[in-house]
Structures are given as structure tokens and as C-alpha cells.
Amino acid sequence: MTRYTLPAPGDAGMAPGVRAVVAGGEADKVATGGLVVGTLQLGFWRERARAVVDGAEWVFGKETGDLGARLSVDPEGTTRMRAVRTSFWTSRHDVDLEGVLVQVQGGTRNRVWTASGATLGTSGRVGFWNPVPTLDLRDDVPLHHAVFLLWLEHTFTRRNQAAAAA
């Protein structure tokens, strides 16, 4: 299992407004000693982001009610990866990762990500007042899938925080 962490904007040597995606490292808010494997820049609207993974630029965002991802060179309105909410009350989602179906279930602090009945990974948070999302995934998960899933975890957490504040 590899732990992916999404430190606060500007941490891990990033410019202001840019978040590093860190693989490995310590279980702290900046994943000390981890390797930066990508970047994530959240858009003005919180459910939009641009990610750079292995030199490819990805666009993450809400498309027709679903959360999706496409390469920046792909036409608008297309998706390569997509998350569809299957249950409003339990916050369950089905995620299509370029043909691999992943189910997401869980609560406000932790989620379990499964594929074909086997656990793909688990998510969590580090810290209390300003929690940093983490995602522990199997080593066979491609890096761009891991970054998309980490962004989904961040988005789901933000939605839960907004609902709790309302």
C-alpha cells in the first residue's frame, strides 16, 4: 500500500495555490520525506481542479452532475474517469477509472474504496482543525488514478464540511 497525501497549498515547496500530491513519507500534514508525484491546483469553484501527473495535464471537475476527469487536450464534455453518486443518504459513489469500476462507501472521516469486491484502498485525514486528506492505495493503482481518487476524497470531504456548516 502506498499513502498519498494532499498537503495544504504552498506546502512541500509548491507555489501559493498549488498543492503537492505526495507519495509515501511520514504520517504528518506535509508527508515529511515523501516524494512529490504530481500537483493539484484547485479552481475558483471548489469542484474544479487542474492536475499535472507524469507530465500530462488533467482537468477535474463537475460535468452534468457527475465528477469527472479528462486530459486537457481532450474535447470539452468528454471524460476518461468519472464518479457517479449512487446514494444520496449514504454518500456512496461508483467511480469509473477508464474501465475499472470502483465503489466508494463510508462516512465523514474514512472511506473504503473497493474494486471487484476487493479493497483497493482506504482514506483518512491527518490533523484536526485543518485536516489534510490521505489515501492508502494498493501499489498496482496507476498514478493518474490515484491523483483523481485523492481529489475525489478532497471533494467529498469539502462537501461534508459544507453540509455540516449549513
Tens digit of each residue's pLDDT (9 = 90 or more) over 63-119: 778 999 999 999 988 999 999 999 877 778 999 999 999 999 886 678 999 999 999
Q: How far apart are CA 125 and CA 113, in angstroms?
A: 15
C-alpha cell, 145? 488514478
The kind and range of the H/E element at 61 are: strand 56-63
Angle 163-85-109 from CA coordinates, rounded to 5°: 50
What is the structure's pLDDT at 46?
66
Say whether 28 sits in a helix, a strand or coil: coil
Please check the confidence at residue 54 and state whether its pLDDT lies above 90: yes
Q: How many CB atoms lie within 10 A of CB 87?
A: 10
Confidence of residue 157 (pLDDT cuts 50, 70, 90): confident
pTM here? 0.92
- The values of phi and psi at residue 142, to 5°, are -60, 150
